[in-house]
Structure 1
């Protein structure tokens, strides 16, 4: 006859086998995930190498110089452009006469100069409108 100890041992072996199967399945799942991550890292590292090579290619000094000459009004400074002393620095323009020479836009003939439209009346739910109304009142007060 089957003894109770044989049944207990058989159940324990079956449980151990189930645990081993579960653990090996988890390990294989994690290994496949790790392999996927390593492949992704390798792809990203390759992309970084390509981008660095492209950056180095696009930032060649000769290419940048040619682009600057073709598309920029800036030129290298020459020897006669250098300031040798403080006396050579021009004085800034002074006085309001400087502003008299500046062009001033004229009023549009189809629109007469009119004051700004009035601000809408502030209600109890409009704190910003109340502040604006108060500031208008303060400006009107002598």
Structure 2
């Protein structure tokens, strides 16, 4: 009986050692993956910074002005093109075209609901507002 317990204890010891080493190597693997991911993040951030720098160079006002002068053939701004806000025409009135169409069809009036005390044509009770079925 003692030998079986000794063999079992050695087997458990070997099993726990194998498990401990597997956990250790998994931890090392995950740590390496974290480091690789951090390097990839740093590379992407560097790429973003380069693109932002290129964008800043491409959108410089003096560069854009030269391109506009060369390619768009724009005229210089004259004083007669500048107006005061009071000189602008009033905006057109807002038109509710859907409401106008509903009114023309006769659908613009409020509808009577079963709980409504007021029905077109006089006061009604809830029992008279509901249709009755005849058999």
TM-score range, shorter chain: 0.5 to 0.7
Give me the whole-angstrom Cα distance separating, in 1, the residues matched to 2:70 and 2:50: 28
The C-alpha deviation readout for 1:62-119, integer Å capped at 9, x for no partner, is 11111111111223421023356469xxxxxxxxxxxxxxxxxxxxxxxxxxxxxxxx
Task: Specify the alignment match of 1:17 in structure 2.
Answer: 17
Give me the whole-angstrom Cα distance separating, in 1, the residues matched to 2:10 and 2:78: 96
Give me the whole-angstrom Cα distance separating, in 2, the residues matched to 1:49 and 1:38: 16
Gaps of 5+ in 1: 88-142
Q: TM-score, normalised by structure 2?
A: 0.57
Alpha carbon RMSD of aligned pairs, Å? 2.3
Superposition pairs for residues 1-142 of structure 1, below 5 Å? 3-83=3-83, 85=87
Highest RCO, 1 vs 2 (Cα 8 Å, sep ≥ 6): 2
**Count of aligned pairs between the two proteins:** 87
The C-alpha deviation readout for 1:45-69, integer Å capped at 9, x for no partner, is 0001111111111111111111111
Gaps of 5+ in 2: 90-135
Give me the whole-angstrom Cα distance separating, in 2, the residues matched to 1:86 and 1:11: 94
